[in-house]
Structure 1
């Protein structure tokens, strides 16, 4: 009987170890560096984005993604409790606020719908101290992109990375396409410090209000 109990305890430990290793990321900040690959040494129109950064602030079901570039700042605030999405664009003196419905957010990310992932279990590397596994994402149009993700961290709300939301963990390095250009995001810092609630406040003035359809016109 004693031997049976020891075997049972050992089995429980084996089963629960993966669950204990995975940390649920319910609050903190994830910072990414952005690199544009033009495929040539000649200056390109998107070179000004090189050196841009992206920061994701997480507080439970709320996220705020801020992309900062020489052009300005674009922030996307998602409130999972209210199912609302707001985009703020600040380019010099021009400031826009765009309210999106869930169907608008889905339309804005329609190219990432039904993305399928192929996992390469033979490839791994360490990024910022986390073991990262390789996955190849394939879009409906046949376009592919590479993602390095860790199963050690699982964000509570993954809609801030629409293309990678179905991964079994957090994307630490991933590619996106901007026309014919390849954009690579690589995590540079992860902080578990509390995020002020004010970070998710929506401005009540100082911004020109746009509908989603108006914003699609390139404003």
Structure 2
């Protein structure tokens, strides 16, 4: 009976994020004395919008906005990157194989968990994990098991975590980029968030965007 009550309480404490939004603040840290190219991300924001089978990740920095929209249509996954830098607007279509290529650095990531380390982020108790990449580099992530996400395509590096990443690190050259959740919302997201623009963008394939033919 005690075990049954424990599992019931755990299930009750968990929230399922099938539809909603997560907002992250981005900070940059570096040991270099001179400014580096990637420091334009300092102060940027990253918003994630979710619906069943759909996700939109929208990064806004001083340079402009880059969004990744993923729609699951039956057995087919449609992936589109929108880049808006001033007057330059690009729409890049990717196949699932292209998406895997974009994220190949994180393909075989594994996590080591530290059950003794916790901190509170946006009212949720976050646990510490160390991500281990195939190239030997590591990064720290704080995640909460209290939020379960169905659709994990939006955050490739953390898709194997048993919960939602509330703070995590990535690297950009010699810079450490830290994403920290500023808000988690379970409010409905308008369907228009996942619609692609009809005009105004230069349409490109993934290979064209890389400079290929």
TM-score range, shorter chain: over 0.9
Matched, 1:70 2:71: no
Matched, 1:133 2:127: yes
Alpha-carbon distance between aligned partners in 2 of 1:107 and 1:190, rounded to the nearest angstrom: 29
Aligned to 2:146: 152
Aligned to 2:206: 212
1:192-203 equivalent positions in 2, closer than 5 A: 192-203=186-197
Aligned to 2:171: 177
Aligned to 2:107: 113
Aligned to 1:38: 30
Alpha-carbon distance between aligned partners in 2 of 1:15 and 1:84, rounded to the nearest angstrom: 37
Deviations 1:129-169 (A, max 9, x none): 10000000010000100000000111120111100000000
Runs of 4+ in 1 over 4 A off after TM superposition: none
Unaligned runs of 5+ in 2: none
Unaligned runs of 5+ in 1: 1-7
Aligned to 1:60: 52
Matched, 1:16 2:24: no
Alpha-carbon distance between aligned partners in 1 of 2:108 and 2:9, rounded to the nearest angstrom: 31
Alpha-carbon distance between aligned partners in 1 of 2:87 and 2:7, rounded to the nearest angstrom: 56
* Normalised TM-score (structure 1): 0.92
* Normalised TM-score (structure 2): 0.94
Aligned to 1:123: 117
